[in-house]
Structure 1
Amino acid sequence: MADTPTGWVVVGVDGSASSRYALEWSAHEARLRGLGLRIVTAVEIPDPRDPLAGPAIPANVEELPLFQDARALLDYADRWIQRVYPELETRTRVALRRPAEALMEAAEEPGTELVVVGSRGRGTLASAFAGSVGVELAAHSPVPVVVLPKEHETAPGVRERVVLGVDGSPASRNAIDFAFAEAQRRGTELVVVCAWQPITAFALTMGPLPPEIFDEEPLAEAAQQTIEEAIADYRKRYPDVSVTVRTVRAHPAAGLLETATPADLIVVGSRGRGGFRGLLLGSVSQAVLHGARGPVAVVR
């Protein structure tokens, strides 16, 4: 009998097309990492006696149709994974709580290395893992969160890459480390993107402008320097990773989305420069999550 895995990838499922893609992606990721796979679904059971008291767990919870549907979904997901990845250790769980709470609890358990969720739910469990769950998890999870798009687009003939957004902020260091490790694990190219925008539009309301304000070359050079400084140590730590550096004249989210194909894994920090305390995620992270055609990893 195989040894119990030392770590786990956690995936949330609800029977939707998005969560089926998340299940497949997470199983592949668990295999790459040599980890087990925990498959979680959530069932919220309201107390009919007091709607203001919040969810309650009746004594006969396992006899309720909703719970039985959840159990059947997990059994199906487990059987499917075992057919595709028979060597993979799997465990299943029905959580009687909000979907975000269920996955956050799993994320905080010892051994969890990654949480995966679809961006939209349309399944029989009342669309349990909807888009807001991914945002909430990405903002608070102690481990990286990967959000899969609503509809998985294919990119025939396109080799998978890891596409990393860098802005030079201290918060992006964990994202850089994660991206290099993923590229090495997958044997893929790492594309590091730093976006810059002309400041002319923002300065037009400030009165007469000096001619040098229209020179965009220094901005492009500064973006290039930002990338090189940010990844210098990681190049040394991951010498086998092939790195391509790109500076793009665009909004950071637009630059990442235009660079990445559906086959790529986009990696962003949860909040970079300009982030405000109290916001769930930085504006760039949220825009990428909503616009990506492939998986997005958000790293705190």
Structure 2
Amino acid sequence: MLSRVASHLYWMSRYQERAENMARILDVGQSLALLSAQDDGAAIEPLIITDTLVAFDEAGGPRTTEGVARFLAWDAAHPSSIANCLESSRENARAVRGAITSEMWETINDTWLQLQQRRRVEGQPVDAGFFDWVKERSHQFRGVTSGTILRGQPWAFIRLGTIIERADNTARILSVKQGAVDTAVRPTPPADDIADYYSLAAVLRSVSAFEAYQDTYRDVIDARRVAELLILDPKLPRSLRFCYDEIEALLDQLPKQAGRPARRLAATIQAGLAHGDVAEALSLGLYEFLERFLKENVLLGEAVQSAYLELT
């Protein structure tokens, strides 16, 4: 496959996943802000998760829940805003319409058209209904893709973009939580700590894992178990372990020689997740563990870019 085509497919899906993840972060961020009305830091937590606090302050927006949401959802100058991600996904899809199915293109294009209609009719909405719409459109795109495209190299690059972006999002959300409450010092919050309970529940909901936690542990929400589920569970679709199990399998479907550095790095990260346990992460410091993972995940993205997506 041509590097140009592979790059467009990879970034088409990565931008779709990024838009969904941003909607998840903002939806949960607004819920937490309501619970922490007296805490000014709650409003900017989505900026910390997405590493955009400096860019936001430079843009001069108010440090309010609505100001932050408008920046991350609609700001034209912010490349990872929801609106820009959906536009970038559409532009990448349009560049390779011959490599995707007609249903995939129609779904992406219709999402863009609906976004423009929402902008005209509703202004720039930042409510729960808008965030749910973004998530639903992303789910529809993945469903259409899964149900219509051949399982060849195009599928592998599309899925690879989705999963690398998803791993980054899960680690960022959990990392910010652990930065506030270091579980290496305080591994199990008191059962009567209501604020922390709702915060942990919000973390689970932000990655669609609340029901999975209940099914797995059938007990009060506990910071150590939340970390164990989101990092190490091989059955949870948004856990780091699940993502890297799939990344390793996807890379194995691509040309071997060019991708040796990427496959080696992915195998190293996957082995650490497959054979590690939460006690090891806690002994290092969970925040430090997650920050290290984020750096390694970025390195993997760069290795994939270098091996397959750069024009030669």
State TM-score, norm by structure 2: 0.28
More helix by share: 2
Structure with higher Rg: it is 1
State TM-score, norm by structure 1: 0.29
More strand by share: 1
